[in-house]
Amino acid sequence: MTTPIQPVFSEVNLDAIGEHEGRVAVVLSEPGKLHPAARRVNKLTRGALLRFAESEAFEKMKDGDTHELAFPTGMNAEAVQVVRLAPRADLTLARKAGGAIGKAMAGKDVLVLAGPLKHADELALGVVLRAYAFTDHKSDKNAKDKVGGNLELMVSRVDQYDGAADRIAALSEGVFFTRDLVNEPANVLTTTEFADRLADLKTLGVKVKILDEAELETLGMRALLAVGQGSESPSKVVVMEWMGGEKDIAPLALVGKGVVFDTGGISLKPGAGMEDMTMDMGGAGTVAGVMKTLATRKAKANVVGLVGLVENMPDGRAQRPGDIVTSMKGDTIEVINTDAEGRLVLCDVMWYAQQEYKPAGMIDLATLTGAIIIGLGNENTGAFSNDDTLCDGLLDAAKSEGEGAWRMPMGPGYDQLIKSHKADMKNVGGRAAGSITAAQFLGRFVKEGQPWIHLDIAGTAQVDKDGPLAPKGATGWGVLTLNRLVQDMFEA
């Protein structure tokens, strides 16, 4: 598992700056203006820093941009990275600037001279998040050596950052847990291995219950069980409870789709790109990461995370197109396409969550449809909801954390597309409005009066290029947003 860097916040020590042997990052706010620590760097480099700070190149830099001065004369550091950032730059820009430092870190020690920056802690979080690398299956020692390093931030008033390192650790550990799970190959992250990793959250105080196939059959979760019946890996539901708030406060329920690999089943996917279907458990991965963050920071909140873990394989026992399955709710579903399996997993777990916990709000997360990527690309998660208050809170939290989310429409007109003449509903509605009909399907398993959001993270859980806060691969989208939402709902 990937361990986040632990930042240290310290008072400015001018003598230590010249001795630092890794990388030095200097935050500057405007042309030609140097704070005391930056003036020390300028003196050591015989005016090189000021010359750059007064140059046209610096003037063209925007907040969050960086520029590297390699092998500076007069310093032991291998590079000075100049970061342009206004003292009161917002959280998103501070993290972006930190991400640029983290990307260049490559296992080296980094000293950040933050000057009067207000959000030095957010810059540090950006460094930590971007310094992530998934190397569990790399045999090359050099690749592993490029991960880690020490991170120190010299700040004007160190007392302002009491507790900042612990907060950063809680957030980054949750994000890294999610990324590690999503990046794992399916031959490693089986349903059993996934459940075992979630069981380890007990050490943080999370109450974990694992329901096996016999228990799921007794509960009537036959829609979920149908998805996994063609796999050698047993289907499971894992329930994680964090009850750190007042006893009589109903919890927030987070429900995650955990398809550890999706071949499409009998409705087999094309071979090209199928290797990416190791990420089809991204919703469950995000729920796991949120639960880890909440437990690590001992959140004064009541949250229950529930994930359905299955593998969708073609086999002599696999469900077929045309099968009719009965959900835990009792509704019957005609399976038109076995590759629309995530909603069959979610509907049973959502019903169980409502029956068992009567939650104040319920949010499901799933890499559910390719259609949402057509609509929103990789910039935004699609949000579907029956409750304006809960959805507005989620969207506000996503905006505050710099994670894209966009509300999509729902309505009874779309229900006609999933109408079946053989069963209560079909599991797909055709090509038109694919992400919306998937949400409409799930909406049928939401009890009257239950506030609910469906988050389709197919475009945001994993990306095929480097981002400002994550390398190519799993992003950990949603951990920061949902942690913020929990704070707003329970701890404000």
Same domain, yes or no, for 245 and 334? Answer: yes
Q: How far apart are CA 183 and CA 404, in angstroms?
A: 21
Beta bridge partners of 310: 259
Segments forming the whole domain that contains residue 90: 7-158
Mean per-residue pLDDT, 169-183: 98
Asked if the model's pLDDT at residue 254 lies above 90, the reply is yes
- Rounded to an integer, what distance in angstroms lies between the CA atom of residue 164 and that of residue 10? 12
Q: How many residues does the chain have?
A: 492
Whether residues 208 and 269 share a domain: the answer is yes
Residue 90 has pLDDT above 80, yes or no: yes
Strand partners, 208: 240
The vertex-250 CA angle with 249 and 255, nearest 5°, equals 145
Asked if residue 363 and residue 255 are part of one domain, the reply reads yes
pLDDT digits (tens, 9 = 90+) for 421-468: 999 999 999 989 999 999 999 999 999 999 999 999 999 999 999 999
Domain closes at, from 139, 158, 177: 158
- Find tokens 């073609």 and name the residue: 314
Residues 361 and 482 in one domain: yes
C-beta separation of 346 from 308 below 8 A: yes
What's the mean per-residue pLDDT of the chain?
97
Catalytically active residues are 269, 343
Q: How far apart are CA 83 and CA 103, in angstroms?
A: 13
What CATH number is given to the structural domain containing 141?
3.40.220.10
In a domain, 164, yes or no: no
Q: Has residue 67 got a pLDDT over 90? A: yes
415/297 same-domain check: yes
Tokens of 78: 């291998």
Rounded CA-CA distance 148/399 in Å is: 29
Q: Both 220 and 151 in a single domain?
A: no
Please give the pLDDT value at position 492.
82
Flag whether pLDDT at 142 surpasses 90: no
| Structure-block tokens of residue 410 | 């729902």
Element spanning 345, H or E: helix 342-357
CB-facing half-sphere around the CA of 317: CA atoms within 13 A: 11
Q: Is the pLDDT of residue 130 over 80?
A: yes
Domain finish residue from 158, 187, 202:
158
Q: Are residues 149 and 287 in the same domain?
A: no
Is pTM beyond 0.75 here?
yes
Out of 134, 158, 182, a domain closes at 158
Give the model's pLDDT for residue 147. Answer: 81
Local confidence band at 7 (pLDDT 50, 70, 90 cut-offs): very high
177 contacts: CB under 8 Å, gap ≥ 6: 1, 285, 288, 289, 292
Q: What is the chain's percent helix, strand, coil content, to nearest 5?
A: 40, 20, 40
Q: How many folded domains does the chain comprise?
A: 2
Per-residue pLDDT of 211-250, as tens digits, reads 999 999 999 999 999 999 999 999 999 999 999 999 999 9
Q: Please check whether residues 119 and 223 belong to one and the same domain.
A: no
Q: Identify the CATH number of the domain in which residue 313 sits.
A: 3.40.630.10
Does the pLDDT at position 141 exceed 80? no
User: Is 336 inside any structural domain?
Assistant: yes
Clarify whether residues 268 and 174 are in a common domain: yes
- Tell me the average pLDDT across 130-138: 95
Domain presence at residue 307: yes
